[in-house]
């Protein structure tokens, strides 16, 4: 199976039976192969609808969606779904099956030979950081929320689908675990490069996760589809500006790292206050303010000095 495919929404529209207004109104956008697109918006603006139109848990009432150029309407719905990983908020693990059996479900119904399934389960558990020996035979109830969501992701990846749909996958986790899982998923995504549609109502998560962000509003209307930088620096209208928040200037700083800047030459400085080159500009600014300084030394991961950052440098970069 190919490792990624692009997804094209072409005036995709859904009006639920008994409702006059569409839940998703003529959505048109393209998610390039291998990228993460975050569908961002407040509750009820059609994010889940947009997502489930792709795997046809919800059927289109207008327009079309194409995966690698083929309309989803033309594909057998079961085959279509088996080629799409699907991750939901509470993981939706099968409580009566072990972790290994949960992950093996799609390969099993696809009729893979047993040894291949076993190898795949082992590989995936390794990939999401849950060693098979320790976790394979456990039941979902014996795992923490974060661990369950890892299994949910492994299960979605089982048959190596080119596409992943993730509906607020980390929404039920505590903030610390959530941030950790976001990092883990980004690391994992860098390895597997699945085209990913990711639903979120959290601007910080969207900025972290998305290569692109689609901002949706009430009635399923697309307000802006752009990179996180553009959404933060040039919101399309007042609604988007309000949604991304008055601190969007600070949020934008999370997108850049010190290593992206041309730093001033290293000139020594207080030990222990040094920043690392892979720190974000937001972290750097925070450290500068906390230290009451207008310049701080920067080192690489091994502690070797690489330069000096100043408040002015950050202002220019923002």
Residues of the shown chain interacting with other proteins in the complex, contacts defined by CB under 8 A? 52, 55, 57, 78-86, 88-96, 98, 105-106, 109, 138-139, 141-142, 152, 155-156, 165
Q: Which of these ranges, 47-55, 137-145, 156-164, 310-318, lies near ligand ADP under the rule CB under 6 A?
A: 47-55
Facing residues of 225 across strands?
Answer: 214
Instruction: By CB under 6 A, tell whether 43 contacts ligand ADP.
Output: yes
State which of residues 49, 148, 200, 224 lies at the interface with ligand ADP (CB under 6 A). 49
Question: Pattern of binders to Mg ion over 221-240, x per CB under 5 A?
Answer: --------------------
Instruction: By CB under 6 A, tell whether 90 contacts ligand ADP.
Output: no
* CA–CA–CA angle 283, 287, 291 (5° rounding): 175
Q: Which lies closer to ligand ADP via its Cβ, residue 23 or residue 240?
A: 23
Determine the angle formed by the axes of helices 99-109 and 114-127, rounding to 10 degrees: 130
State which of residues 5, 7, 12, 23 lies at the interface with ligand ADP (CB under 6 A). 23
Q: Which lies closer to other proteins via its Cβ, residue 28 or residue 144?
A: 144
Q: How far is the CB of 230 from ligand ADP (least distance, A)?
A: 22
212 binds, among ligand ADP, Mg ion, other proteins, none (CB under 5 to 8 A by kind): none
Sheet with 195-200, edge to edge strand ranges: 84-87, 163-167, 195-200, 36-40, 212-217, 221-226
Task: Report d(CA 310, CA 136) in Å as an integer.
Answer: 50
- CB contact at 8 A, 315 and 307: no
Task: Report d(CA 246, CA 251) in Å as an integer.
Answer: 9
Q: How far is the CB of 63 from other proteins (least distance, A)?
A: 21
CA-only gyration radius of the chain, Å: 22
Q: Which lies closer to ligand ADP via its Cβ, residue 145 or residue 171?
A: 171
Q: Per residue, what are the HEC states of 3-15?
A: CCCCEEEEEEEEC
Count residues contacting ligand ADP (CB under 6 A)?
11
Instruction: By CB under 6 A, tell whether 16 contacts ligand ADP.
Output: yes
Instruction: By CB under 6 A, tell whether 48 contacts ligand ADP.
Output: yes
Q: Which lies closer to ligand ADP via its Cβ, residue 140 or residue 152?
A: 152
Q: Which lies closer to Mg ion via its Cβ, residue 55 or residue 308?
A: 55
Please list every residue from 260 through 289 that binds ligand ADP, using CB under 6 A: none
User: Cα 139 from chain centroid?
Assistant: 26
3-state secondary structure of 66: strand
For 304, phi then psi, to 5°, come to: -80, 135
From residue 172, alpha-carbon distances to 164, 177, 231 in Å are 19, 10, 26
Within 10 Å of residue 206's Cβ, how many Cβ atoms?
27
State which of residues 7, 27, 36, 45 lies at the interface with ligand ADP (CB under 6 A). 45
Count residues contacting Mg ion (CB under 5 A)?
1
Q: Which two tokens stand for residue 297?
A: 């030394």
The residues that touch ligand ADP, with contacts defined as CB under 6 A, are 16, 19, 23, 41, 43-49
């Amino acid at each position: 199976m190919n490792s990624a495919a692009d997804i094209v929404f072409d005036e995709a529209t859904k009006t639920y039976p008994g409702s006059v207004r569409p839940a998703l109104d003529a959505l048109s956008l393209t998610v390039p192969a291998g990228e993460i697109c975050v569908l961002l918006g407040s509750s009820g603006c059609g994010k889940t609808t947009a997502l489930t139109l792709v795997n046809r848990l919800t059927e289109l009432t207008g327009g079309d969606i194409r995966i690698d150029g083929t309309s989803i309407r033309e594909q057998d719905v079961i085959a279509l779904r088996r080629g799409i990983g699907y991750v939901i908020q509470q993981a939706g693990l099968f409580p009566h099956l072990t972790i290994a059996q949960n992950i093996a479900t799609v390969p099993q119904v696809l009729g893979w030979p047993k040894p291949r399934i076993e190898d795949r389960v082992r590989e995936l558990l390794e990939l999401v950081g849950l060693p098979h020996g320790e976790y394979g035979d456990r039941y979902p109830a014996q795992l923490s929320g974060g661990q369950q969501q890892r299994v949910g992701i492994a299960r979605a990846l089982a048959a190596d689908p080119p596409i992943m749909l993730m509906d607020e996958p980390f929404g039920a986790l505590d903030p610390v675990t959530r941030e950790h899982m976001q990092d883990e998923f980004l690391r994992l995504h860098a390895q597997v490069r699945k085209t990913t549609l990711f639903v979120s109502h959290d601007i910080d998560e969207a900025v972290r996760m998305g290569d692109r962000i689609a901002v949706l509003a009430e009635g399923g209307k697309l307000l802006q589809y752009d990179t996180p930088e553009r959404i933060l620096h040039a919101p399309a209208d007042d609604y988007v500006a309000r949604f991304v928040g008055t601190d969007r200037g600070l949020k934008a700083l999370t997108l850049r790292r010190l290593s992206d800047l041309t730093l001033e030459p290293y000139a020594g400085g207080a030990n222990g206050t040094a920043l690392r080159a892979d720190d974000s500009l937001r972290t750097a600014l925070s450290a500068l303010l906390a230290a009451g300084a207008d310049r701080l030394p920067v080192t690489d991961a091994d502690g070797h000095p690489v330069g000096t950052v100043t408040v002015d440098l950050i202002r220019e970069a923002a």
